[in-house]
Amino acid sequence: MAGYLFRRIFQAVLILLGVSFITFVLLYVLPADPVRQIAGRAATAQTVENIRQQLGLDQPFLVQYGRYLGGLIQGDMGRSYLQKTEVASLIASRLPATLLLMAGGIACELLIGLTFGVIAAIYRGRLLDQGLMVTSFVAVSAPQFVVGLLLLYVFAVQLGWFPIGGYGTFEHLVLPSVTLGIMGSGWYSRMMRSSMIEVLRQDYIRTARAKGLTRARVLTRHALPNAILPIIAMIGIDIGIFMGGLVVVESVFGWPGIGQLAWQAIQRVDIPIIMGVTMVSATAIVLGNLLADVITPFIDPRIKMR
Amino acid sequence: MVDIAVVSGAPAGILRRLFRRKLALFGFAIIFIVVGSAIFAPWLVRYGPNEQLFDGLTLQGAPMPPGGDFLMGTDLLGRDLFSRILYGARTSLIIGVIANGAALIIGTLIGLTAGFMRGWIGSVLMRFTDLMMAFPALLLAICLAAIFQPSLWIVAMVIALVNWVQTARVVYTETTSLSEREFIAAERTLGASQSRILFKHILPHLVPTLIVWGTLGISVTVLLEATLSFLGVGVQPPMPSWGNIIFENQTYFQAAPWLVFIPGTAILLLALAFNLVGDALRDVLDPTQRGQD
């Protein structure tokens, strides 16, 4: 166990190192010159050169990368080119909003997805099942920005139930969470359906029914817990898919999270921020996958760690 | 060898089973309509997609609602939305096919090589794939698209660079399990060359998987292109794309919702169509899935 965990953590660190290297290379070779952006159009060649030296951008690539890594290990992600603030504190100030939105999104997709999946499995093959499965296809095919704008139009503009955008109260959280959760709810309902069907096929379910338990009790006490197990591990993997959706959802709803931060940074070629957000996202993805792999054997002893 | 014959020898049976599924038929119908509109767009529309029409705006300068002269209304610049939607279908399909085709080829090559070679080449390739999995895909795509001045080809390339990973994983898993099967060992004993085994025996077995992933992948690609264009880093106006129509008009969407929801519905339907067909193909082509529903 300890050996397995150690190996997985070592792998995770290697992957993050790789991600940092590739991102650094991509941003290093990019045609847009960040120094020009900082200096402005009117700057003389001398000013541009000074700024370049100040930021250490005149150094060779490996020196720059080594310096970045050295800082990263100590939790220093450098300073934003344009905002003159520490990237780490910029991200830290935006992170709570993003985590809140992700929690809301996960809650929505699980609530909708698991409920639909269980109902579909119970009514397998009937009209309700087919209807729910078509719905799940629509959910995974719907572009998030269109879903977001549609929810905004109906529930905020027309009905006035929720605010049009912003951050702060529970009302602000509802529409962005649903938007973020809808795509995942489609996947979850399909997975939950097949997981539930698989469990309902098992002998012990028949035994439980045969010894006289009610259908409802068998479903809730015997089938459901076992059917949910394999689904739980998926939440970790979901985090990766969410990181992308965040940029879109945060921009539609004006949600002040790291997705917006990244989006603004990309438009202004503010490399330290892009780099920082990519690293934070990649860490979240790697941790999510790690968690999924580590948790699975605990919740389902049939799966062994390798 | 036997199951290859079954798969490739009976496309008629597969098609028949496919067409028996209502949802797959619905998907095919949508794809058919979209492809048709894309090809015949010049003959179907009354106005060019980039024509700023004299009577395309109201006297107050607002876009015209659907109906009357303009089937789907006009956009903020007084251009015919119907025409832009039809020409936008070209963009979606071109990117869908090219980007997804490229992703499929890259993914297959990497997965196949890693699964067949094993050894250090295999490890390196798969570790690289793991690494790509850890990249926040959309963030990477946005970054790349914003860095290079986006054009149709750049967008397609960016999507391909982001989307090959899943295919590589699936192909890798299948290739490793195939390489351990007896008929491959038999081929080896008979002295068949590596490339013969790879292209004559392993690749044909992957065809059903590739067809399924290729179809489902178009849906992912269509959505990604739309998202990039919506953020303004995808296909650039004035070339119409369903995503950038929404990008151009979203500030006005409370007053002119059709400018967002008509292209939005188009994206949804096309992605849905490829998902439905891909899912049906998986059921029909994968023998282990048969009888599950």
Cα separations in angstroms, A305 against A227, A234, A297, B172: 20, 17, 7, 21
**pLDDT: which is higher, A277 or A229:** A277
- Distance, in Å, from the CA atom of A21 to the CA atom of B142, rounded to the nearest integer, reads 18
Instruction: State the smallest CA–CA distance between residue B185 and chain A in angstroms.
Output: 26
Asked whether the predicted pLDDT for residue B267 surpasses 90, the reply is yes
Q: Give per-residue pLDDT as tens, B82-114.
A: 888 999 999 999 999 999 999 999 999 999 888
B137: its two tokens: 């895909």
Any B CB within 8 A of A125 CB = yes
A305: its two tokens: 């760690």
Q: In this complex, do A26 and B268 lie within 8 Å of one another by their Cβ atoms?
A: no
Mean pLDDT of B78-82: 83
A144: its two tokens: 């998030």
B-chain residues near A142 (CB < 8 A): 268, 271
- Of the candidates B89, B9, B3, the one whose C-alpha atom is nearest the C-alpha of residue B273 is B89
Helices (H), B190-254: 194-196, 203-230, 242-249
Q: Which residue segments constitute the domains of chain A, with CATH numbers given?
A: 2-73 (no CATH), 91-299 (1.10.3720.10)
What is the reported pLDDT for B99?
Answer: 92
What is the reported pLDDT for B10?
Answer: 57
Q: In this complex, do B144 and A15 lie within 8 Å of one another by their Cβ atoms?
A: no
What is the reported pLDDT for B4?
Answer: 45
Mean pLDDT of B187-204: 83
- Distance, in Å, from the CA atom of A248 to the CA atom of A28, rounded to the nearest integer, reads 26
Asked whether the predicted pLDDT for residue B292 surpasses 50, the reply is no
What is the reported pLDDT for B3?
Answer: 46
Q: What's the whole-model pTM score?
A: 0.87
Burial class of residue B129, CB neighbours in 10 A (0-12, 13-18, 19+)? buried
Exposure string over B86-110, b if 16+ CB within 10 A, otherwise e: bbbbbbbbbbbebbbbbbbebbbeb
B164: its two tokens: 């090959």
What is the reported pLDDT for B276?
Answer: 92
Asked whether the predicted pLDDT for residue B252 surpasses 90, the reply is no
Q: Give per-residue pLDDT as tens, A240-257.
A: 677 778 888 998 888 888
Q: In this complex, do B279 and A137 lie within 8 Å of one another by their Cβ atoms?
A: yes
Contact B171, B112 (CB under 8 A): yes
Instruction: State the smallest CA–CA distance between residue B191 and chain A in angstroms.
Output: 35
Helices (H), B45-151: 81-117, 119-134, 137-147
What is the reported pLDDT for B35?
Answer: 93
Contact B267, A146 (CB under 8 A): yes
Q: Give per-residue pLDDT as tens, A69-117.
A: 888 888 787 778 777 788 888 888 889 999 999 989 999 999 999 999 9
A-chain residues near B279 (CB < 8 A): 137
Q: What percent of chain B has pLDDT over 90?
A: 19
Amino acid letter for position B9: G
What is the reported pLDDT for A80?
Answer: 81
**Residue of A11, A146, A277 lying closest to B268 (CB–CB):** A146
Quote the mean pLDDT of chain A.
Answer: 84
What is the reported pLDDT for B272?
Answer: 94
Name A304's Cβ contacts closer than 8 Å, sequence gap at least 6: A297
Any B CB within 8 A of A267 CB = yes
Name B196's Cβ contacts closer than 8 Å, sequence gap at least 6: B187
**pLDDT: which is higher, A48 or B264:** B264
Quote the mean pLDDT of chain B.
Answer: 83
Range from A36-40, A212-216, B239-243 carrying the lowest mean pLDDT: A36-40
Instruction: State the smallest CA–CA distance between residue A9 and chain B in angstroms.
Output: 14
Bond preceding residue B238 cis, omega within 30 of 0: yes
Site of tokens 């860490």: A283
Instruction: State the smallest CA–CA distance between residue B202 and chain A in angstroms.
Output: 27
DSSP one-letter string for A108-144: HHHHHHHHHHHHHHHTTTSHHHHHHHHHHHHHHHS-H
Contact B166, B107 (CB under 8 A): yes
**Residue of B23, B143, B261 lying closest to A134 (CB–CB):** B23
ipTM confidence score: 0.85
Name B230's Cβ contacts closer than 8 Å, sequence gap at least 6: A143, A145, A248, B243, B244, B246, B247, B250
Instruction: State the smallest CA–CA distance between residue B234 and chain A in angstroms.
Output: 13
Range from A8-12, A61-65, A241-245, B8-12 carrying the lowest mean pLDDT: B8-12
Interface of B with A in 22-61 (CB under 8 A): 23
Residue of B nearest to A21 (CA): B131
- Distance, in Å, from the CA atom of B143 to the CA atom of A26, rounded to the nearest integer, reads 9
